Structure 1
Amino acid sequence: MIKQPSIVIIDYGVGNTQSVANAIKFLGYKNVKISCDFNDIENADALILPGVGAFEEAIQNIKKRNLVEILNYQVLDLKKPILGICVGMQLLATYSEENGKHEGLNWIKGEVKKLNLSREFSVPHVGWNDVIIKSKDPLFTKNTDLSNFYFDHSFYFDCYDEQNVIAYCDYDIKVTAAVQKGNIFGVQFHPEKSHNNGLKMFRDFINSIS
């Protein structure tokens, strides 16, 4: 029998941790833990950084739990796969302009900017949106182009290097929907709220773990 990978969903006090765990367990993966314990993070095969709410609170909570150093080591040095979700994706950036300028983890160079849209487009961007997939492997191998996902955000990740954008959606402007740099992945949408398409994406992420 093939051993299932160990997945730790980082618990830093801001996030949709339980709903993410429930979605992954629904797929049949049992070795899933919500934790900020250093031993759990070190022993995991992959990490998930969820998030809802404001960037500033999210990054401050990560710092208060002394998670920056261990995450840098696990992700940048050991190349452990990590998936950021919504604000968890935005934390991968260099900095955010939400409520002032705040430094992010700086794993993927870029800025988190306010959605400045035409009047007919509402902010926050809430609801279902088709996603244009630039690179199907590995996050979107089971999803077709223009698969729709559920979004809920007022800020977006403007990557300095366009090659790091693996999917986007058209919402008046080109909004980054997913990013990747090596072992580092992020999605602006909520896969745990995106029904079958979100479950497919979770399975693709987990299948990519080696």
Structure 2
Amino acid sequence: MIAIIDYGMGNLRSVQKSFEKVGYQAKITDKKEELLDAVGVVLPGVGAFKDAMKNLQELDLIDTIYQVVEEGKPFLGICLGFQLLFSESDEFGHTKGLDIVSGSVKKFPDTLGLKIPHMGWNQLNLKQDNRIYDGLADGEFQYFVHSYYVETEDEEVIGATSDYGIEFVASIAKDNVYGAQFHPEKSSDKGLQILKNFGKIVEEVE
């Protein structure tokens, strides 16, 4: 079973429906027991980093997430859920993240002269030959909606980058932890391919 963490930050049902579309059942839940029983776990989300961390804390789910990751279960963060995997964020003041991956969440500089939030289709520059990207070619388009981006000095975790005035981390793959700044559930067939690949990884664990 794939479990989708419900922590009040939206965008859950569309992720669930997208998994169903590629042949995998996914359950939306905020119950620790169900997350720990799941074979794979997804942390989606839209909104503010600080609110998200507060909600996870209030639901007492942070240690549950750590346990899931430590047990080696496939874990996928999407958009805000991707950013939460990192050490800290500058959004609305400094906020500590889950620190599963070393790095910081920064706002796109106003000096770029570009519209913020970054919203629309951008190409992926693949950096890893990882099975989460099976079936995707370098330069594939995915759909983004975000005002903040991730910086990390750990280049080995970077699965793909994209460009919006600056090059930024679009996806990570580190052991059993995967992440996408873009929305695979809104990115047509090539986005659904990533969810399908995650489902296959979960199947192998089962």
Give the TM-score normalised by structure 1.
Answer: 0.94
Computed over aligned residues only, the root mean square deviation of the Cα atoms, in angstroms, reads 1.1
SS of the aligned residue for 1:192 comes to helix
- Name the structure 2 match of 1:96: 89
Separation of aligned partners in 2, 1:175 and 1:100: 21
Q: Report the Cα offset of residue 15 of structure 1.
A: 2.4
Structure 1 counterpart of 2:18, from 11, 23, 28? 23
Q: How many residues align?
A: 203
- Name the structure 2 match of 1:125: 118
SS of the aligned residue for 1:152 comes to strand
1:38 counterpart = 2:32: yes
1:51 counterpart = 2:32: no
Bigger shift: 101-110 or 197-206?
Answer: 197-206
Q: Which has the higher helix share?
A: 2
Q: Unaligned regions of 5+ residues in structure 2, if any?
A: none
Q: Report the Cα offset of residue 113 of structure 1.
A: 0.5
Q: Unaligned regions of 5+ residues in structure 1, if any?
A: 1-5
What are the superposed Cα offsets for residues 63-95 of structure 1, whole Å, 9 maximum, x if unpaired? 00000111111212x111110000000000000
Determine if contact 1:117/1:172 at 8 Å carries over to the other structure.
no
Q: Report percent identity of matched pairs.
A: 38
- Name the structure 1 match of 2:67: 73
SS of the aligned residue for 1:144 comes to coil
- 2:177 alignment partner AA: I
Separation of aligned partners in 1, 2:113 and 2:83: 25
Determine if contact 2:88/2:95 at 8 Å carries over to the other structure.
yes
Bigger shift: 80-89 or 115-124?
Answer: 115-124
SS of the aligned residue for 2:132 comes to coil
Separation of aligned partners in 2, 1:180 and 1:63: 25
- Name the structure 2 match of 1:116: 109
SS of the aligned residue for 1:170 comes to strand
Structure 2 counterpart of 1:179, from 165, 172, 180? 172
Determine if contact 1:117/1:173 at 8 Å carries over to the other structure.
no
Separation of aligned partners in 1, 2:94 and 2:110: 21
What are the superposed Cα offsets for residues 156-185 of structure 1, whole Å, 9 maximum, x if unpaired? 111121111110001111111001221111
- 1:40 alignment partner AA: E
- 2:51 alignment partner AA: E
SS of the aligned residue for 1:8 comes to strand
- 1:98 alignment partner AA: E
